[in-house]
Amino acid sequence: MFSYKRFSEQFKINLFQNAFRHGMFLLIVCLGLIIIHYRFFHSGAPSHQDLFDSAGFVLCLMSIINSIDVFSKLRRTDSGIQYMMMPANTLEKYSAAWLYSTLFTFLVYLVAYYIIHFLSISVGNMITGYGASYQSMDLSRLWELFTGTMFVQSIYFLGSVYYRKNPFVKTTAVVFGCIVVISIISSYILKLYLENSGINFNSSGFTWNITTNNNLMLDLPGSDFSTNLVEILKVILYLIPFGCWTAAFFKLKKLEI
């Protein structure tokens, strides 16, 4: 049975145990943001600069750090025993770690971003008299940012449970390995496609000539095939986090120290 009390105890432990380290990271990010805003007011053309440009990178980086840290006790046998023997079932421990490294991290950094932004713009306007407007992210961009962060987080979250030693290095190596394999497969598919379609080169570059082999069910870029491919890839990208989170849960459940 899932107990909210045990879950909140686990979340509290995650929060307080990482408070100093993660607090320092948050402070560094806030200082970085202040510097970005400072430069914004000294750039000469402040209205053309997107102050939320760095948000994606920062959120992904922090979600990676928090995902690795949230299971840091598993790196050593003594702390691993302490973690596994805590009175909470796997689902409660997992949920607390998941919430901490996903929604909590995302919200904390997003809120910090907005607070620093509004404060910096207000103070900057007061001092310089520019009258710069407050910027904001629309929902679709926020959603993109969220899904992108969750994608990266889920991979490192799984890596953090799966690899007890050096999870960051090993997960990064696996990710690069996967990228290489996917690139090889993609280039093979592209080669197959090119062999089954004609390409004419002219002075303005190259243009596609339609001689597509129907058996391969391939089509031209921008047409149904590529649109479908993009949709399929999107679905896969949405499914990967759920797959990683599920795998992380079962790995944690079966983990032996």
Partner 1 sequence: MIEVKNMNFAYSKKRTIFENLSLTLKGGHIYGLLGKNGAGKTTLLKNMAGLRFPQSGSCTVLGMESKERKAEMLEEIYFLPEEIWLPEVTVSGYLNLYAGSYPKFDYQIFDRCLSEFEINSKELLKHMSFGQRKKVAISFALATQCKILIFDEPTNGLDIPSKGQFRKLAAEVINDERCLILSTHQVRDLECLIDTVIILDNSEVLLNNTTEQICDKLVFKTLLSLENQQGILYSEFTPRGYIAVFENTEAFDSRIDLEVLFNMSTQHPALIKHLFNL
List interacting residues with partner 1 (CB under 8 A): 1, 3, 6, 9-10, 12-13, 16-17, 73, 76-79, 81-82, 84-90, 92, 253-254, 256-257
Q: In this complex, which beta carbon is closest to partner 1, that of residue 16 or of residue 206?
A: 16
Q: In this complex, which beta carbon is closest to partner 1, that of residue 234 or of residue 253?
A: 253
Structure tokens at 142: 């926020």
Q: In this complex, which beta carbon is closest to partner 1, that of residue 26 or of residue 86?
A: 86
- Smallest gap from Cβ 93 to partner 1, in A, equals 9
Q: In this complex, which beta carbon is closest to partner 1, that of residue 89 or of residue 135?
A: 89
Alpha-carbon span 62 to 160, nearest angstrom? 14
Structure tokens at 58: 């920062």
* Burial of 201 per CB tally in 10 Å (0-12, 13-18, 19+): exposed
- Smallest gap from Cβ 15 to partner 1, in A, equals 10
- Smallest gap from Cβ 83 to partner 1, in A, equals 9
- Smallest gap from Cβ 208 to partner 1, in A, equals 57
